[in-house]
C-alpha cells in the first residue's frame, strides 16, 4: 500500500500545475492533501473519481483557507470529519478514514508564523490533538497520522538550525511536543528508514525564490505510525523534485 501526504497550498492551483497528471503517472493507494483552500464543490471531483478514488473532504468554513482531503482507492469503512474541537473543525484541519483495521488521520497543524495569538493557539491545538489521538489509539492499534505538522523536529530536519532557534516551527516547545508525541508510541517513518539522511526537506519558503534550488528547506511534513504498524513499513521517502506547491509529497509504503 502506497500512501502519500502532500500540502498542495491550494488544490486548484496545484491541479493547474499538473497534479492530476502526476497522480496518474505515480499510482497512490491513499492520497492525503492539506491546505486545499477549497470546498469539494469548487473543483471537478471527477478528476479524482475517474482515477478510482473515493473522496473524504473537510473544508474550512472560511473560503480559500486551510482544509484537508483524503482520496482512497479502497472505499473507507468509516469517515470522521474533524476532532470535536470547535476552532480546529471550523478551520477544516482533521479528517480520518478507516480502511478495515487501518486508521489514517490526515491533519493540517496550525502555523504560528503570523503572530503570538496563532502561536498560542498552535500550542492549544497540539495538546487537544494529542489527547484525541491517544484515545483513538486505545481502540485502534493500527494508525497512521500524517500531514503538515508545521514543526521541524531535530536540527537535521532544518537547513539552518542556529538561525531559526526563535522561529515558529522550530521553537523548543514545539520540538519538545514532538519528542513527547513520539515517546508515546509513535514512529516517524522517514527517520526510521533514513536515520542519518541530511538535506531531506519537504517545504521551502516562497519568500526567497532561490531557496528551493539551494535546498534551504525544512522537514515539517510527516507520516507517523503507531509502533504496532512500524514493522510493516517498507519504504519512507520524500519527493523534492515534484513541484506543484511550496511543499513536496512524502511517501510511505507498507505491507498490508
pLDDT digits (tens, 9 = 90+) for 20-34: 999 999 999 999 999
What Rg do the C-alpha atoms of the chain give, in angstroms?
Answer: 17
Percent of the chain with pLDDT over 70: 100
Average pLDDT, integer, range 136-156: 98
Number of H helices, E strands in the chain: 7, 12
Neighbours of 15 (CB within 10 A): 19
Residues contacting 146, CB < 8 A, separation 6+: 3, 5, 32, 104, 105, 106, 107, 221, 222, 223, 224, 250, 252
Mean pLDDT, the chain, rounded, equals 97
> Residue 5's closest CA among 80, 105, 100, 143?
105
What average pLDDT does range 95-106 have in this prediction?
A: 98
Active-site residue numbers?
A: 148
For residues 92 and 27, give the distance between their C-alpha atoms in angstroms, rounded to a whole number. 26
Q: Which residues pair with 171 in a beta bridge?
A: none
Name the pTM for this structure. Answer: 0.98
Domains of the chain: 2-254 (3.60.10.10)
CA distance 28 to 102: 16
Query: pLDDT tens, 180-192?
Result: 999 999 999 999 9
- Single out the residue of 92, 112, 96, 114 nearest to residue 104, CA to CA: 96
E strands present in the chain: 2-7, 30-34, 54-58, 68-72, 78-81, 94-99, 102-108, 143-148, 186-188, 221-226, 233-238, 250-254
**If DSSP codes are grouped into helix, strand and coil, which group holds residue 247?**
strand
Amino acid at each position: 500500500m502506497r500512501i502519500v501526504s502532500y500540502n498542495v497550498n491550494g488544490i486548484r492551483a496545484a491541479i493547474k500545475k499538473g497534479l492530476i497528471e502526476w497522480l496518474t503517472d505515480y499510482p497512490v493507494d491513499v492520497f492525503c492533501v492539506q491546505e486545499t483552500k477549497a470546498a469539494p464543490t469548487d473543483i471537478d471531483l471527477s478528476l479524482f473519481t475517474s482515477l478510482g478514488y473515493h473522496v473524504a473532504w473537510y473544508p474550512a468554513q472560511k473560503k480559500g483557507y486551510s482544509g484537508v482531503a483524503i482520496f482512497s482507492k479502497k472505499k473507507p469503512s468509516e469517515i470522521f470529519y474533524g476532532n470535536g474541537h470547535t476552532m480546529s473543525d471550523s478551520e477544516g484541519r482533521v479528517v480520518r478514514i478507516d480502511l478495515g483495521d487501518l486508521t489514517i488521520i490526515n491533519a493540517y497543524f496550525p502555523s504560528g508564523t503570523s503572530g503570538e495569538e496563532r502561536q498560542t493557539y498552535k500550542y492549544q491545538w497540539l495538546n487537544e490533538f494529542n489527547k484525541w489521538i491517544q484515545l483513538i489509539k486505545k481502540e485502534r492499534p493500527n494508525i497512521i497520522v500524517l500531514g503538515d505538522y508545521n514543526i521541524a523536529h531535530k536540527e537535521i530536519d532544518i537547513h539552518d538550525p542556529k538561525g531559526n532557534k526563535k522561529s515558529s516551527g522550530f521553537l523548543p516547545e514545539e520540538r519538545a511536543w514532538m519528542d513527547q508525541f513520539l515517546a508515546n508510541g509513535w514512529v516517524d517513518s522517514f527517520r526510521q528508514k533514513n536515520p542519518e539522511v541530511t538535506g531531506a526537506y519537504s517545504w521551502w519558503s516562497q519568500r526567497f525564490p532561490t531557496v528551493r534550488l539551494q535546498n534551504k528547506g525544512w522537514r515539517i511534513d510527516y507520516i507517523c505510525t503507531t509502533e504496532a504498524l512500524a514493522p510493516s513499513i517498507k519504504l519512507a521517502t520524500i519527493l523534492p523534485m515534484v513541484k506543484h506547491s511550496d511543499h513536496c509529497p512524502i511517501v510511505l509504503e507498507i505491507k498490508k
